Amino acid sequence: MNSAQPVVRLTNLTRSFEQGGERIDVLRGVNLSIGPGEIVALLGPSGSGKSTMLQAVGLLEGGFGGKIEIVGTDASALATDGRTKLRREHLGFVYQFHHLLPDFNAIENVVMPQLVAGKERGAAEERAREILSALGLAHRLTHRPSQLSGGEQQRVAVARALANRPHLVLADEPTGNLDEHTADKVFAEFLELVRGEGSAALVATHNERLAARMDRVVRLHEGVLE
Ligand SMILES: Nc1ncnc2c1ncn2[C@@H]1O[C@H](COP(=O)(O)OP(=O)(O)OP(=O)(O)O)[C@@H](O)[C@H]1O
């Protein structure tokens, strides 16, 4: 990767929804460029389009206008297979709710995306141990999600998102489901890990306090960033 190249560049991103015969223009021309290792907070009131924007950047949904470039590749021009490949190679996801596989323990949840990416099992397990330990979960490796606290579940979700060393982590209210004290702690660990790994991140949040800890804050207002 060219070191000066943005990990994501959005040019005139648009998205509208048709609901009950009415058209809502949620994104009306969003422009954003995130550099390597840069951690950006995406703020905006409820319903302003933060999740919609993360879905676009995550190449999870179609129906968007404009251009989405991920590490220099124009995703808008790719078919489903190409978008999946781009997503697997460059992106990691953390959601408000952990979405861990319930029948798999912590280490297996972190190993899984690495196997999907073609990594050999031994190396994947070593990486999972390393990253879970960095998040203080060395003593919880064989616990299943139901046997973990909410904070621990989110830490596993963070480890899973970073397992393949993504260039960009997309996080949608990653600590929104936790009490304030736990949220602060898990978020600090998340930031430290993302910084240590050198990944960039785009983090949607309502929380101004968390936003202030990131490198840059952008705000969605009436469909554009300000
Ligand atoms: N599939 C859909 N069909 C119709 N409208 C939708 C759809 N998805 C989102 N919207 C609308 O788009 C707007 C933006 O939703 P979005 O979830 O992106 O907001 P948000 O900023 O993430 O909100 P919150 O902070 O509450 O999670 C909302 O008005 C929502 O109702």
Cα angle value 55/149/191 (rounded, 5°): 50
> Which residue's C-alpha comes closest to atom 9 of ligand 1?
52
Model confidence pLDDT, tens digit, residues 99-129: 899 999 999 999 999 999 999 999 999 999 9
Kindly report the pTM of this predicted structure: 0.94
The C-alpha atoms of residue 220 and residue 32 are separated, in whole angstroms, by 11
* Domains of the chain, earliest start first: 8-225 (3.40.50.300)
* Cα separation, 3 vs 37, whole angstroms: 10
Whether 167 and 90 have beta carbons less than 8 Å apart is answered as: yes
Best mutation site among 48, 95, 170, 219 for ligand 1, i.e. most ligand atoms within 8 A of its Cβ?
48
Q: Which of 13, 26, 220 to mutate to test the pocket of ligand 1 (most atoms within 8 A of CB)?
A: 26
Which residues contact ligand 1 via a Cβ below 6 A? Answer: 17, 19, 24, 26, 44, 46-52
Chain-centroid distance of CA 50 in Å reads 12
Which residue from 75, 70, 138 is spatially nearest to 110, judged by alpha carbons?
Answer: 138
157-210 pLDDT tens trace = 999 999 999 999 999 998 888 899 999 999 999 999 999 999 999 999 999 999
Residue 45 CA to ligand 1 centre (angstroms): 11
Gap from CA of 187 to ligand 1 centroid (Å): 24
User: What is the distance in A from the centroid of ligand 1 to the CA of 115?
Assistant: 33
End-to-end CA gap in the chain: 29
Instruction: Determine which residue's CA is closest to atom 24 belonging to ligand 1.
Output: 46
ipTM: 0.96
- Ligand 1 center from residue 49 Cα (angstroms): 5
Query: Residue 127, by phi and psi: left (phi above 0), alpha (psi -120 to 50) or beta?
Result: alpha
Q: How far apart are CA 209 and CA 7, in angstroms?
A: 25
